[in-house]
A and B are shown apart, each in its own frame.
Chain A
Amino acid sequence: MAFLIDADTRIVVQGLTGATGRLGAEMMQAGGAKIVAGVTPGKRGELVDGIPVFDTVDEAVEAGGTASILFVPAALLDVSLELVAAAEHRGVTLIGPNSPGVISPGRSLLGALRAEFYSPGTIALISRSGGMMTTIAYQLTLAGLGQSTCVGVGGDAVIGLDVSAAALLAQNDPETDRLLIFGEVGTGQEERLAQLVRDGAITKPVYAYIAGAAAPAGKRYSHAGASADEHGGGAERKRSILRDAGITVLDRYIDARGIGHVASIERGTRRHAW
C-alpha cells in the first residue's frame, strides 16, 4: 500500500492548462499517476490530453479528486505561515512548500520527479531536499534497494508534513521495513524523530544522514530551514541525538547503498534485526 499516495490516488493538477502544469502532469503520468482533473479558474469545460478542467478545487474533488498539486514560485515566509495554518484548520495533509513531491515507485507520483531514478521496494525515503531525494533514490536503485514511498518534505523553515510526521506514516505502512532520512542543519525535525524512536513510536530501523556539518552557523542558505545558529540546529548535535536514540547515522549519503548490509555501515546503539 505504501504511504501518502498509492495506485488508487486520484490526482488534481492545479494550473494544468499552463506550461508548468502540463510538464508536471507528464512527469507524473510517467510515474503511474492517475490524474483525474485539472483546475484553472475560468477554463471549466476544457480538456488537456483528455483530462477535464474545472474552475475550482471543490469541483475537482466532486469529480473524484483525492490529492492535489500546485506549482508556484518560492513561497514567502508569511504565505507559508498562512498555508500551514489553513491546512491544519481544514484537516489537509500539506506537503511543502518548496517540496519536490511524493513518489511511490511503480504506483503513483505526486510531484515534479523523474520516475526512472526510483524503483519499487521497502525503504521509506524521507528528505529535506528534493534533488538529494532523487540522488539518493538513484543510489539505492543501483544497489538493488527499492523504495516504498519517497517524500520530500520541503526545505523551508515553515512546512506542513515534517520528517517526524512522515516517519510515523512510514512506521504504520506494512510494506515499509526501513526508514532512510536525508536531514540538514536547522529546524528541530530530526530531534523530534529521535524522540519518537526513544518513545517507541517508531520501531523500524532508521538510518539518517545529516548534511551541512561543515556549513558555517548563523547563515540562511537556499533552504530557508537549513540554518543552524547559536541556539542549536548544528549537524554534530543532531547526529549525536539521533545516535543516542538508536538511529544509525551515516557519514556520507552514499553509504545508504549499504543499508541492506550490516557490516558496511556505522551502527547505532540499538540492535535491529534484519
Chain B
Amino acid sequence: MRLTEATSKALLARYGLPAPVGRSCESPEQVGTAAEEIGCPVYVKAQIPYGDRASLGLVVKAETPEDALIGAAELIGSAVEGTVVTSVLVEAAIQADVSVYVSAHVDGNVGARILRIGLGGGSGYVPESAEVRIAVPRGGLETFQIRGLLEPTGLTGPSREAVVRAVQAVLRAALEWHAYTIEVNPLFVTTSGPVAIDAKAELDDYSLELVPDPGLLPTEAESPRELAARRFQAQDHRGSFRFVQLVDEAEAPPAGGPPLVGSHSVGGGESLVVFDALDAVGLRPANYCDTSGAPSRAKVAFAAELIASQPHIEGFFFSSCIANQPLSVTAGGLVDGFTAAGWHGPTVIRIAGNEEDLARGVVEEWARRTEAPAIVVGREVDEWEAARLLADVLAVSSR
C-alpha cells in the first residue's frame, strides 16, 4: 500500500518527526481559508502517492491565499496516469539551515533494508548519491551507531542530533510498519529541530494486519473492491487472493478506447501474461485478480462476483496457468460468482491444469443454462488466442 504524503507524515509524527503546520483540503475554497489561517507563503501539494511531485508540477508555492486558491483549482481534479487528485495538502513554507535526504528502503537486489542519508535532499535528489548507505540490522540501529554513520556528512552539534532523531523515526516506522519504503525528502533541520518537508511510504500489503495502528491506514488508498478482497483473504487463508482496481468505475471509458474487461487468473505470472494478451487484441483490463494456490470455492466465487459486478466492464476473461489446484472447485466458484453478480455477458474461460475437463464441463453447463455468449477452452488454446476469442465476441455482441 502506497501512502500519500499526508498519511506518511502522520505515521512519522508518531515517532517524533514533525511536519510543517498544514491541513488537508478537498476544495479550492478550503485551501484559500487554510492558507489564510496558516499564513503565507504556503505550499499546495497534490495528495497522490507519487514520488518527486514537484517535478510533475503537482506542488505550487503561493505567496497569497488567492494564489493558493488558484493553484488548488488547477490541481484538484487533475489526473496523473489515471490517478485523480482529490485532495491537497496546504503547508507553511519554512526556512532551513540544513537540507537532508533520509530513507529506509527494502532493496530486493541485496535482500536487505537499506538506510540512506545524504546532504542536500529535495526535488531531483538522486538517492544513489547519498553519503551514507548501509544495510539495517534486524533490530535497527542504536543512537550512537547513527551518530557514527553521519561522520561522512560533516554534520556536528545540534544539526547532527536533529538528523539522528529523524533517522531513528524513519527506521522505527519502517520496521514497525513493515515498510518497503519510508522516505523523507527533504528533511529540514531548523532551529527547533528536524522537520519532514516531504515524505512517502509504501507498506507490505501482506503485513497490514500487523501494523501498530490500522486506524491510521487510509481507506481511500484502496478501492472498495480492493478492501473487500483484502478482508476476505484475511478471514480465509486457503490459497491466495489479490485484487487490484486498475480502472475505477467512476472513470468514464474514453470514447473509442479499448473495451474494458474483467480479468481473473490463476497464477501471478499468468495474470501478467493475460494483460499482455489482452493488450495485443485491443482489450483493457478493468482490474487485476489472481486466485491461486488451492483457494476455496467460496473465495473464487467472491472474486468472480467482485469482477463481474463491475458496471463498466463489457466482457469477462478467465485464464489459468497449468495449475495444481483442483480446477473443478475453481470452476464451481466462478459459476457461483457469476450467478451472484447476475453476470451473463461475453465471457471467455480458459482452463488448464488439474481436473481441467471436469472444470470445463462445469462452466459449459452454466453457459448452456444462462445462454451467455461464453467460450470455454483448455490448454490447447494459448492466452493470445483466447483473448482474440473474447475480442471477437465483443465485436459481435456490442459493436
Interfacial residues, chain A to chain B (CB-CB below 8 A): 73-74, 76-78, 80-82, 84-85, 88, 112-114, 117, 127-132, 134-135, 138, 155-160, 182, 184-185, 187-189, 192, 211-226, 229-231, 252-254
Contact A223 B269 (CB under 8 A): yes
CB closest chain-B residue, reference A128: B269
13 example contacts (A-B, Cβ-Cβ < 8 A) are as follows: A77-B206, A81-B111, A114-B354, A129-B267, A129-B270, A131-B321, A134-B322, A155-B268, A214-B279, A215-B272, A216-B81, A216-B82, A217-B81
Which of B94-102, B141-149, B191-199, B236-244 contacts its partner?
B236-244
The 8 Å CB contact of A214, one of B2, B275, B354, is B275
Are A215 and B275 also in contact (CB < 8 A) when A182-B269, A221-B268 are? yes
Contact B81 A218 (CB under 8 A): yes
What CA separation (Å) do A104 and B278 show in the bound complex?
33
B12 vs chain A, min Cβ distance (A): 19
- B64: CB under 8 A from chain A? no
The 8 Å CB contact of A85, one of B49, B111, B246, is B111
For the complex of A and B, list the 7 residue pairs with the smallest distance between their C-beta atoms, beginning with the closest.
A129-B269, A131-B321, A131-B267, A214-B279, A222-B242, A77-B204, A84-B111
- Name 7 extra pairs, CB < 8 A, besides A131-B322, A222-B268, A222-B271: A127-B269, A131-B268, A131-B270, A135-B352, A160-B111, A211-B272, A218-B81
Contact A214 B278 (CB under 8 A): yes
Residues of B contacting A: mostly: mixed
Are A254 and B205 also in contact (CB < 8 A) when A85-B112, A219-B244 are? no
Number of interface residues of B (CB under 8 A): 52
What CA separation (Å) do A117 and B354 show in the bound complex?
11
A42 vs chain B, min Cβ distance (A): 23
What CA separation (Å) do A219 and B109 show in the bound complex?
19
> Across the interface, which residues of A come within 8 angstroms of B338, CB to CB?
none
- B51: CB under 8 A from chain A? yes
- B264: CB under 8 A from chain A? no
Contact A187 B108 (CB under 8 A): yes
- B15: CB under 8 A from chain A? no
> Across the interface, which residues of B come within 8 angstroms of A187, CB to CB?
108-109
Contact A131 B323 (CB under 8 A): yes
What CA separation (Å) do A127 and B108 show in the bound complex?
16
B35 vs chain A, min Cβ distance (A): 29
What CA separation (Å) do A229 and B52 show in the bound complex?
12
> Across the interface, which residues of A come within 8 angstroms of B322, CB to CB?
114, 117, 131, 134-135, 138
B382 vs chain A, min Cβ distance (A): 5
> Across the interface, which residues of B come within 8 angstroms of A224, CB to CB?
204-206
A226 vs chain B, min Cβ distance (A): 6
Residue from the set B49, B106, B210, B246 with the largest chain A CB neighbour count within 10 Å: B106
B292 vs chain A, min Cβ distance (A): 7
Contact A254 B244 (CB under 8 A): no
What CA separation (Å) do A88 and B82 show in the bound complex?
41
> Across the interface, which residues of A come within 8 angstroms of B201, CB to CB?
none
B227 vs chain A, min Cβ distance (A): 15
What CA separation (Å) do A157 and B204 show in the bound complex?
10
What CA separation (Å) do A254 and B271 show in the bound complex?
15
The 8 Å CB contact of A213, one of B237, B244, B269, B279, is B279
Contact B205 A159 (CB under 8 A): no
A94 vs chain B, min Cβ distance (A): 9
Contact B237 A132 (CB under 8 A): no
What CA separation (Å) do A213 and B277 show in the bound complex?
10
What CA separation (Å) do A215 and B244 show in the bound complex?
11
What CA separation (Å) do A192 and B398 show in the bound complex?
46
A219 vs chain B, min Cβ distance (A): 5
Contact B111 A159 (CB under 8 A): yes
Contact B240 A158 (CB under 8 A): no
Binary interface encoding of chain B residues 319-334 relative to chain A, with 1 for a CB under 8 A from any of its CBs, else 0: 0111110000000000
> Across the interface, which residues of B come within 8 angstroms of A231, CB to CB?
51
Contact A212 B275 (CB under 8 A): yes
Contact A73 B178 (CB under 8 A): no
The 8 Å CB contact of B270, one of A114, A132, A185, A214, is A132
A269 vs chain B, min Cβ distance (A): 23
In chain B between 75 and 121, which residues have their CB closer than 8 angstroms to a CB of chain A?
A: 81-82, 106, 108-109, 111-113
- B379: CB under 8 A from chain A? yes
In chain B between 325 and 373, which residues have their CB closer than 8 angstroms to a CB of chain A?
A: 352, 354
Residue from the set A77, A114, A184, A216 with the largest chain B CB neighbour count within 10 Å: A77
> Across the interface, which residues of B come within 8 angstroms of A160, CB to CB?
111
B120 vs chain A, min Cβ distance (A): 19
A169 vs chain B, min Cβ distance (A): 18
The 8 Å CB contact of B237, one of A73, A114, A134, A155, is A73
What CA separation (Å) do A229 and B106 show in the bound complex?
14
Are A129 and B237 also in contact (CB < 8 A) when A76-B204, A216-B81 are? no
What CA separation (Å) do A182 and B210 show in the bound complex?
33
CB closest chain-B residue, reference A229: B51
